[in-house]
């Protein structure tokens, strides 16, 4: 039996079988191109006006141990009608011991628009995911020296990752330049409108598991299935379609999302009817706001926008901006007529942000769809949050080994439940040269002081998602509230 290598999860997943730890992976080895599907939503962060994309494959020749090795780098040509906006490549670079999956986006002149880290699997050195570090590559091109430690800052504790990503960007810019010179890069045509590219990336090993990954809601979502190939493909398709459906419903950045349209209607009209989907999310958010004593608060949208704007201009928000944002927060501005099923938003500046709830809610809805289809030996990993349905055959559960010393680093079995992590390893605000947490305390209107991450177990992904945030904000005072509802939490040892 061949053994795949790494499942892209923040919590390293150890699948124990035949007396040996088996770790599954969607990705090929670091010398090959990656097979990760990337959503249009992610691409639109670089190309807001894109109308389509077409896959591209670029051959890459490298020397390895005295031999010439030819591999492929996969990506897309991104277009607006018949105009090329740029090109995207997805590749791997080796960290200290595990591959880092990353994305390079360039404009039509092959200048860097940005890079994204799609999967980081080491327990340390994740600072390469920081926005300020990645921003150093913007505007670079094939003639840019991009010397690690000179043009691109090193980060203490993440030297290997910094060097590896920097070398990868430099190599892929050269690859693109060569492809353009030799005519390998395609020219845009009106037919290039494939906005739903979804190549099958399903790997099955006897005695192991089938798995598939896509980037959804800006996060890598992996579906791991203990079943036959056709059932595994069906299960992953169900999950991706359902989570994307909720992405379209709950996006507060998309003016055409169901949430945005409803919110504007509820401000203008005497009442606005919420669909059954949106109504369920609204009521769940209100419940969690009450249970967490306001620490998990989806009405915090105005504050999130204020701090997001401050991050964009790299300066702290003014006191009057925060005061104005705080005044527009709170569920008192959302009046529901439960009998009629209608709502009224009473504050013009009010807005909702389901960023702390959307992943968990979408995972639970996807799990419902899987149960309806009779596909239940499944584990879902959404950017490090795990939701387990039934255990794989012959096992009591899915064995999970936490990173960063969480839960004392001891493996635990997960079945019929969810585990979520909240912390500042992956994101943060960089303002006036200081790093601030991306997690806003609704009670103060300011970012939480960064501290050790927390791990929460719950029966549902939504509760795990919400309570992980609440415990991170509230600290130990949240533990009795959480345990009273049958959940558990753990922080790493100092």
* 15 in any annotated domain: yes
Is the domain of 312 the same as that of 409? yes
pLDDT-derived band at 478 (thresholds 50, 70, 90) equals: confident
Local confidence band at 379 (pLDDT 50, 70, 90 cut-offs): very high
Which helix (DSSP H) or strand (DSSP E) does residue 418 occupy?
strand 417-422
Residues 1 and 72 in one domain: no
| Per-position DSSP letters for 72-116, written without gaps between them | EEEEEEEEETTEEEEEEEEEEEE-SSSEEEEEEEEETT--EEEEE
Domain co-membership, 156 together with 261: no
Q: Are residues 302 and 395 in the same domain?
A: yes
Q: Is the residue at 189 inside a domain?
A: no
Q: Are residues 169 and 265 in the same domain?
A: no
**pLDDT higher at 73 or 404:** 73
pLDDT for 16 equals 29
**Pick the residue with more confidence: 210 or 238?**
238
Query: Could you read off the pLDDT of 125-164 as tens digits, one per residue?
Result: 677 888 778 888 999 999 888 887 777 888 777 788 888 9
Residue 463: predicted pLDDT: 95
Higher pLDDT, 30 or 289: 289
Q: Tell me, what's the pLDDT at 131? A: 79
Three-state SS at 346: coil
Per residue in 156-188, pLDDT (tens digit) is: 777 888 889 999 999 999 999 999 988 888 765
The answer as to whether 19 is a domain residue is yes
- Whole-number pLDDT of residue 256: 86
Alpha-carbon span 280 to 288, nearest angstrom: 12
User: Is the same domain home to 22 and 53?
Assistant: no
d(CA 224, CA 220): 13
Read off the pTM. Answer: 0.64
User: Which of 181-185, 418-422, 427-431 has the lowest average pLDDT?
Assistant: 427-431
Same domain? For 39 and 164 the reply is: yes
Residue 131 falls inside a structural domain: yes
CATH number of the domain residue 421 falls in: 3.10.520.10
Of the pLDDT bands very low, low, confident and very high (cuts 50, 70, 90), residue 64 is low
| Of 111, 146, 181, the domain-final residue | 181
pLDDT over 60 (residue 4) = no
Q: Do the domain assignments include residue 93?
A: yes
CB 26 within 8 A of CB 213: yes
Domain that holds residue 464: 1-26+208-494
* Calpha distance 118→390 (Å, rounded): 27
Count of positions (residues) in the chain: 494
The reply to whether 196 falls in a domain is no
Residues 218 and 170 in one domain: no
In a domain, 190, yes or no: no
Q: What is the pLDDT of residues 238-271, one digit of tens each?
A: 999 999 999 989 987 788 889 989 888 888 877 7
- Does 8 lie in the same domain as 113? no
Whether 479 and 364 map to the same domain: the answer is: yes
Same domain, 128 and 60: yes
What pLDDT sits at residue 25? 30
How many CA atoms, within 13 angstroms, populate the side-chain half-sphere of residue 78? 27
Residue 134 placed within a domain:
yes
d(CA 428, CA 127): 10
Say whether pLDDT at 6 is over 50: no
Say whether both 11 and 105 belong to one domain.
Answer: no
């Amino acid at each position: 039996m061949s053994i795949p290598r790494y499942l892209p999860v923040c919590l390293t997943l150890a699948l124990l079988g035949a007396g040996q730890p088996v770790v599954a992976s969607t990705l090929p080895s670091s010398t090959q191109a990656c097979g990760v599907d990337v959503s249009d939503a992610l691409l639109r962060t670089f190309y807001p006006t894109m109308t389509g994309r077409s896959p591209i494959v670029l051959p890459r020749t490298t020397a390895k141990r005295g031999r010439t090795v030819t591999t492929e780098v996969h990506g897309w040509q991104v277009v607006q009608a018949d105009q090329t906006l740029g090109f995207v490549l997805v590749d791997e670079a080796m960290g200290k011991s595990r591959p880092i999956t990353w994305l390079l986006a360039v404009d039509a002149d092959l200048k860097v628009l940005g890079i994204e880290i799609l999967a980081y699997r080491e327990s340390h050195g994740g600072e390469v995911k920081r926005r300020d570090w990645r921003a150093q590559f913007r505007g670079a091109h094939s003639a840019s020296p991009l010397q690690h430690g000179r043009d691109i800052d090193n980060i203490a504790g993440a030297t290997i990752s910094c060097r590896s990503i920097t070398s990868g960007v430099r190599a892929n810019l050269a690859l693109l330049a060569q492809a353009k010179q030799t005519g390998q890069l395609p020219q845009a045509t009106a037919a290039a409108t494939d906005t739903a590219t979804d190549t099958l990336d399903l790997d099955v090993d006897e005695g192991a598991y089938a798995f598939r990954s896509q980037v959804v809601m800006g996060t890598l979502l992996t579906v791991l299935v203990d079943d036959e190939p056709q059932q595994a493909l069906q299960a992953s398709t169900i999950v991706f379609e359902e989570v994307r459906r909720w992405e379209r419903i709950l996006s507060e950045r998309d003016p055409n999302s169901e949430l945005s349209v409803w919110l504007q209607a509820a401000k203008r009209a005497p009442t606005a009817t919420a669909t059954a989907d949106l109504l369920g999310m609204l009521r769940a958010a209100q419940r969690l706001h009450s249970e967490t004593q306001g620490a998990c608060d989806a009405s915090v949208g105005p504050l999130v926008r204020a701090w997001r704007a401050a991050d964009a201009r790299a300066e702290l928000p003014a006191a009057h901006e925060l005061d104005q944002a705080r005044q527009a927060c709170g569920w008192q501005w959302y009046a529901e007529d439960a009998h009629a099923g209608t709502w009224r938003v009473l504050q013009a500046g009010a807005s909702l942000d389901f960023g702390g709830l959307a992943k968990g809610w979408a995972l639970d809805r996807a799990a419902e769809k899987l149960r309806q289809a009779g596909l239940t030996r499944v584990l879902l990993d959404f950017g490090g949050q795990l939701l387990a349905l039934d255990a794989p055959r012959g096992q009591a559960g899915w064995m999970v080994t936490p990173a960063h010393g969480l839960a004392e680093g001891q493996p635990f079995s997960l079945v019929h439940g969810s585990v979520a992590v909240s912390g500042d390893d992956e994101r943060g605000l960089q303002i006036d040269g200081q790093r601030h947490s991306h997690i806003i305390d609704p009670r103060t209107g300011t970012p939480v002081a960064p501290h050790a991450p927390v791990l929460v177990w719950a029966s549902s992904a939504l509760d795990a998602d919400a309570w992980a945030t609440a415990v991170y904000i509230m600290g130990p005072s949240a533990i009795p509230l959480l345990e009273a509802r049958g959940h558990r939490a753990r922080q790493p040892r100092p």
